[in-house]
Amino acid sequence: MNPLTHSNLLPDPLKAWYTQSVENSLAESDCDPQVGLTSQQVSQRLQYYGLNELEEKAKRSSWAMFLDQFKDIMLLMLIAVAIVSGILDLINLQQASEKASEFPFKDTIAILSIVILNGILGYLQESRAEKALAALKSMASPKVRVLRDGRTLEIDSPQLVPGDIMLLEAGVQVGADGRLIEASNLQVRESALTGEANAVNKTVEVELSEDTPIGDRINLVFQGTEVVQGRGKVLVTGTGMNTELGKIAQMLQGVESEPTPLQQRMSQLGKVLVTGSLLLVALVIIIGLGVSGWDLSVFQQLVEVSLSMAVAVVPEGLPAVVTVTLALGTQRMVRRHALIRKLPAVETLGSVTTICSDKTGTLTQNKMVVQRVDTLNTSIQVTGNGYEPVGEFLLNNQPITTEQYPELEPLLLAC
């Protein structure tokens, strides 16, 4: 028999757990609330359900990311212009005509240099942003306390599986969706999920109807929310994409990205230039043949002249100017602690006229972090970033320890 089937009492993450009693929930999860899951059960369920992480679209390779920089119609037009210019220079060289340049292919080299530079700038910005976002994501992965094999352990949130007994206390972030089995004055702020800034009082002994909205499911806790008061013991029922946050992430992945206002205007300009260039080529050839009559050598000359005129119509420096301008804007945003993944997004942000938003979790981070401690005799700076347990105490910009200033220790214990 396959050990990884629901016949072995593996919990169904899609079940309406808020309609179930605590006893039924524990029975269906095959879990003892005083012992938690065994190591063997955790291994099986981790293999069956996977890591407690939100799925992302497959990452592009470096080459794919680089080639994506050349999908803009203006850049494609410049590449076509470079090819045509190179062909004309090659014809002139072969014919050894007086029109042949002393430095052949100079236009081709110049245009391709602009195109490649444009691609490199876009690739570097996107690559740096991706690496920075990956680093932020690894830092944001919270630790959770669980009961396994009768022992309390602290594990990384991605290691949670359905059926785990998760222990909550004030100040911790909920690592997965779950059914409350014990609670003591438990309040959870669900602004990250529902937008409601006020903390929600959670209750264990209640069974709700199936049509109860998310904000009223007071016997459940949800991934990404924060405990602001009390303690609780939770039976994990959903992880990864089977959480409420996972459902939102899945919907967002189905949304197709639209071109930015700048990309739309550049596309329109490119279409106008392409159409105008083709009309110019056609008019020059038609008028020239109409005046001189059909002659192969005349036709070749007319083609060369018309293509040269078409090349002259294209503003070779425009994409480079736009890219450099956007890159400078991106660097200014970085200095203001805002990461921009793609260069055109800078212009989109500049086009915004109205922002409709709540405060908590959007304009503010819903966190309180100590940055300075004032005692009777001194003022001590505290370094670090967010809830990460990294940082030090500084007095007059010099590191100190709690042994040197014992008044710090009771303050830390109180926090």
Q: Are residues 244 and 382 part of one domain?
A: no
Question: Contact 382/372 with Cβ under 8 angstroms?
Answer: yes
Catalytic-role residue among 30, 72, 358, 374 = 358
Q: Are residues 168 and 27 part of one domain?
A: yes
User: Domain for residue 118, yes or no?
Assistant: no
User: Domain for residue 43, yes or no?
Assistant: yes
Q: For residues 21 and 176, what is the distance between their CA atoms, to the nearest angstrom?
A: 19
Q: Are residues 167 and 29 part of one domain?
A: yes
- Beta strands, E only, 140-260: 143-148, 151-156, 165-169, 177-189, 200-201, 220-221, 226-238
User: Domain for residue 216, yes or no?
Assistant: yes
Number of domains present in the structure of the chain: 2
Mean pLDDT by 10 residues, the chain (415 residues): 47 84 90 91 92 80 85 81 80 63 75 86 82 66 88 92 94 92 92 81 90 90 92 93 87 75 83 86 86 79 79 77 82 80 78 74 66 82 75 86 80 72
236: CATH: 2.70.150.10
Burial 270-281 (b: 16+ CB within 10 A, else e): beebbeebeebb
Is 358 labeled as catalytic in the residue annotation? Answer: yes
Q: What is the separation of C-alpha 286 from the centre of its chain, rounded to a whole number of angstroms?
A: 53
pLDDT at 231: 93
- DSSP code of residue 57: P
User: Domain for residue 321, yes or no?
Assistant: no
User: Domain for residue 71, yes or no?
Assistant: no
How does pLDDT run across 89-146, given as a tens digit for each residue? 787 777 665 555 567 788 788 888 888 888 888 888 788 877 776 766 665 567 899 9
User: Domain for residue 292, yes or no?
Assistant: no
Q: For residues 99 and 91, what is the distance between their CA atoms, to the nearest angstrom?
A: 10
Last residue of a domain, one of 201, 224, 250: 250
Give residues with Cβ within 8 angstroms of 277, minimum separation 6.
310, 313, 314
Q: Are residues 21 and 170 part of one domain?
A: yes
User: Domain for residue 301, yes or no?
Assistant: no
Give residues with Cβ within 8 angstroms of 343, minimum separation 6.
121, 122, 125, 126, 323, 326, 327, 330
Question: Contact 273/313 with Cβ under 8 angstroms?
Answer: yes
Q: Are residues 233 and 376 part of one domain?
A: no
3-state SS class at 104:
coil
Look up tokens 């004032």; give the residue. 374
User: Domain for residue 127, yes or no?
Assistant: no
Last residue of a domain, one of 250, 278, 313: 250
Concatenating the DSSP letter of every residue in 157-187 gives GGG--TT-EEEEETTPBP-SEEEEEEEEEEE
How does pLDDT run across 242-301, given as a tens digit for each residue? 999 888 888 877 767 777 788 888 888 888 888 888 888 888 888 888 888 787 778 877
Residue span of the structural domain in which 168 resides: 6-52+160-250
Last residue of a domain, one of 250, 284, 308: 250
Q: Are residues 239 and 383 part of one domain?
A: no
Q: Are residues 377 and 237 part of one domain?
A: no
Say what the pTM is. Answer: 0.62
> For the range 198-207, what are the long-range contacts, defined as Cβ-Cβ under 8 Å and sequence gap of 24 or more?
199/228, 199/229, 202/230, 202/232, 204/22, 204/180, 205/22, 207/18, 207/19, 207/20, 207/21
pLDDT at 181: 94
